[in-house]
Chain A
Amino acid sequence: MTMVANHPDIVGRYDIEGRTDFYLVKRTELDRSAFALARIIERFGIAAGRYILTVALSQEIVQFAPFEEACTMLGFIGTNADASPMDAGRVESICRQFDAAAVCGVDAAVLQGLDEAGHALGPIFAGRIIWARPDAYHRLAALEGATVLRCAKIGPALALECLEKGGLHLDGREWALSAPERTIRMTSRMARIHPLDDVDTGVAGTVDHSACACGSRDPRVILRD
């Protein structure tokens, strides 16, 4: 039998130093991230009991499981679809069936799948809060009637934009960020089973450490388009 004291709960993936590698976490680390995300999401005033759709890939568990957990903490009902063209029909079906209040993680692959299936984007996303990934943001931002914000994976974390649109918030207690050159570097501040020390996330952008108008003191990542 193996000693389990320092055993991870989950092996996910992250992009680091120009490659994709495995990232090990404990559930308690994801729970900490969930609290940080809940602080951002609760400012949107979504009523408890509404449905929130998370669009991701299974291997993105380290980044997106905290978002799901944050939604649970806030009393929302979570539902999911794959971030792939093949599963885009599920995004349409869930938005229609459950009147999702928000959709997080929409990417270009989903938009491609919706296009291929002949779905117009407006009827699917209008009236909802959409956190779009960088490769889908500009197309969705052009839609009328949807509140379109950015989300992005920064190493093993998920960064979300608030309604102020002043950059993507990342938990400042958990991560120290810097951008000495073109890309964001991150260091873990708390005890983690897989600590990071000034690693390059490959995400092009800058970091704003000033207080956000939404009231958050977390650092914000300004993505370079």
Chain B
Amino acid sequence: MRMVVSTAVEGRTAYPDYLDPVEGLSRDDLNRLQEAGVMAMCHRAYRRAPLIRQVWQDAGLVPSDVRSMADFVAKAPFITKDSMREFRDRHNDPAGGMGHFGPGEILSIGTTSGTTGDPTPIPSGSRASTEDTFTRDLWHHGLRPGDYHTALAFTFRGGFRRRMVQELNIAEIIVSMAPGEIPFLCEASKRFRPTTMASVSNPLLLALEQYFERTGEDPVEVFKSYKAAIFGGEPLSVRLGALAKSWGLDLYENTGVGDVSSAAECKARAGMHAYEDVTYLECIDPDGADPVPDGGLGELVVTSLSENYLPIVRYRTGDLVSMDRSQCACGRNHVRFKVLGRTSDQIIVEGRTILPRELMMLIEQHSETRAGLFQIIRTAREMDALKLRVGYDAGRLSDGQDRLGQRLRDDLTAAIGVRVEIELVLDQELLKLGPPHKIPRVTKA
């Protein structure tokens, strides 16, 4: 591990490269830390979380049966979002079986986006693990004391309780992710010259594109101070990523890790780093429990190591990922992964597996559908045609709606090799399905 300390050089402070020295641990040190963390979390979760206790008892297990990582992988049962929701509904427990807390133990309950149902509660104390990992990522991308950071909030559902960035003497400029906020985002960027921005989304980039086209304002001048912008919510559109690059905005992808941590691309852009002192990650066969080796496609399974208020153990996230535990070019050994889709989004058409991610690039290359807004209509896991609802901008129609549909069908069929059925709707109709940073990419009707 590199020794990095704060030193005074010609009156300026050189801050450490890593916000937390744990970021520089070797693979061996990380493995030891994780084993200790997993053992401790098994005891803590069993004691505090009724759902964990129930599934372990159903499996005939107690925490003392797990004495090694091998024991854990072989014996510990899985939980899912559905099992948390079932527990919540059966026991009238808004915490979904993740813990009963007295006054003063938790400060707040955040809630997930609710894209796939009633929002899931996320209990939180004075500092959430996600806050810690997110701040490490911003620090990695160059945010330092005395700087400004543009905090783009998807919605207000997390509240204003997070103050870790502010405690580092960094000012947070708070902006909502809404089209009406674009002038404030641009004005704040010019007035305060922030270093970083998070989180950017596809709908926000679309709104920025329209704003710059409408006003003639120079995006390069607006964004010239930013060293990095963190992108999240759903996969980054290829077209919008290139557009942001032309504005001088370097985007780095970010995702949640089982609602207890976050992961983001580093400057090497070789997958998103998850911090292994905060979570233990596994990649398993989506249809079973066998481990998938690094580089293979599997489901992300998360065990929290540091989040007392959401003590998840072997939580199947439904995210399809490929993982890489080799050392990154950035020098860190913490695992990296790429998200390729959701298990629930996967459909099979004429024997071919299709994920939303691969369709976006094909759809956004047409002027009328450059927003890349679409939904897969999934009436069954296996279908005989790919049914899509695609958003279009009526103002950009060049040869009529029927011709646009035909062009899309031809391109998609040629690229994917299956029969395609397309229903065209206006962009606004799909954007209304929010939350604002993403739309449901798969729907039943």
Within 8 A of A (CB), among B145-161: 145-148, 151, 153, 155-161
CB contacts (< 8 Å) of B169 on chain A: these are 4, 7
A61, B121: Cα distance in complex, Å: 22
CB–CB A68/B160 < 8 A: yes
Mark each residue of chain B from 156 to 171: 1 if its CB lies under 8 Å from any CB of chain A, else 0: 1111110100100101
Chain B interface, number of residues (Cβ within 8 angstroms): 51
Chain B residue with Cβ nearest A52: B108
CA distance in complex: A61, B153 (Å) = 11
In the complex, the answer to whether B94 meets A1 with C-beta atoms within 8 Å is: no
Nearest-Cβ distance from residue A81 to partner chain B, whole angstroms? 6
Complex alpha-carbon distance, A9 and B149, angstroms: 10
Shortest distance from the beta carbon of A1 to any chain B beta carbon, whole Å? 5
Beta-carbon nearest neighbor of A26 in chain B:
B166
Q: Which residues of B contact A22 (CB under 8 A)?
A: 173, 184, 187-188, 191
Residues of A within 8 A of B163 (CB): 9, 27
State the interface size on chain A (CB cutoff 8 A): 47
Q: Are B107 and A90 in contact (CB under 8 A)?
A: no
Q: Which of B18-26, B98-106, B285-293, B323-331 contacts A (4 or more CB under 8 A)?
A: B98-106
CB atoms of B184 and A59 under 8 A apart: yes
Q: State whether B146 touches A8 (Cβ < 8 A).
A: no
What residue of chain A has the Cβ atom nearest to residue B192's Cβ?
Answer: A11
Are A58 and B153 in touch, CB under 8 angstroms? yes
Interfacial residues of chain A within 1-28, with CB under 8 A of chain B in the complex: 1-4, 7-13, 20, 22, 24, 27
Of all chain A residues, the one with the shortest Cβ separation from B169 is: A4
B111 near A61 (CB under 8 angstroms)? Answer: no
With a cutoff of 8 Å between Cβ atoms, the chain A residues found around residue B173 in the complex are 11, 22
Give the nearest-CB partner of A94 in chain B.
Answer: B111
Bound-state CA distance A182–B178 (Å) is: 32
Beta-carbon contact of B157 and A65 below 8 Å? no
Contact B107 A72 (CB under 8 A): yes
Structural contact, B157 and A59, CB atoms closer than 8 A: no
Q: Does B110 contact A (CB under 8 A)?
A: yes
- Min CB–CB distance A114 → chain B (angstroms): 15
Distance to closest chain A CB from B181 (angstroms): 7
**Of A3, A59, A86, the contact of B436 (CB 8 Å cutoff):** A86
Contact residues in A for B146 (Cβ distance below 8 Å): 1-4, 7
B172 within 8 A of A: yes
The one of A1, A11, A68, A93 that contacts B145, using a Cβ cutoff of 8 Å: A1
CA distance A90 to B157 in the complex (A): 9
A206 within 8 A of B: no
Taking CB atoms, residues of chain A closer than 8 Å to B417 are: none
Q: Flag whether A75 is at the interface (Cβ < 8 A).
A: yes
Mask of A77-100 contacts with B, CB within 8 angstroms, 1/0: 111111110110110011001100
Interface centre among B107, B121, B151, B175 (most CB of A within 10 A): B107
A12 to B156 alpha-carbon distance, docked (Å) = 14
Asked if B142 is an interface residue, CB under 8 A from chain A, the answer is no
Which residues on the A side are within 8 Å of B155 (C-beta)?
58, 81-82, 84, 86-87, 90
Min C-beta distance of B217 to chain A, whole Å = 18
Structural contact, A49 and B181, CB atoms closer than 8 A? no
Check A77/B108 contact, CB under 8 A, given A1-B144, A3-B146: yes
Closest to B92 in A: A97
B201 to chain A, nearest CB (A): 14
CB distance from B137 to the nearest CB of A (A): 20
Question: Which chain A residues numbered 32 to 70 have a C-beta less than 8 Å away from chain B?
Answer: 48-49, 51, 54-59, 61, 64-65, 68-69
Give B179-221 as 1s and 0s: 1 = Cβ < 8 Å from A's Cβ atoms. 0010010011001100000000000000000000000000000
B12 proximal to A (CB < 8 A)? yes
Bound Cα distance A51, B95 (Å): 13
Which B positions have Cβ atoms within 8 angstroms of A?
12-13, 88, 94, 102-104, 106-111, 114, 118-119, 121, 144-148, 151, 153, 155-161, 163, 166, 169, 171-176, 178, 181, 184, 187-188, 191-192, 432, 434-436
| Chain A interface (Cβ < 8 Å from any Cβ of B) | 1-4, 7-13, 20, 22, 24, 27, 48-49, 51, 54-59, 61, 64-65, 68-69, 72, 75, 77-84, 86-87, 89-90, 93-94, 97-98
- The 3 A-B residue pairs whose C-beta atoms are closest, nearest first, are A2-B146, A58-B153, A65-B160
CB<8 Å pairs between A and B, sample of 17: A1-B146, A2-B145, A7-B145, A8-B171, A11-B174, A27-B166, A58-B155, A58-B174, A59-B176, A64-B160, A79-B108, A80-B159, A84-B178, A86-B155, A87-B435, A90-B157, A93-B118
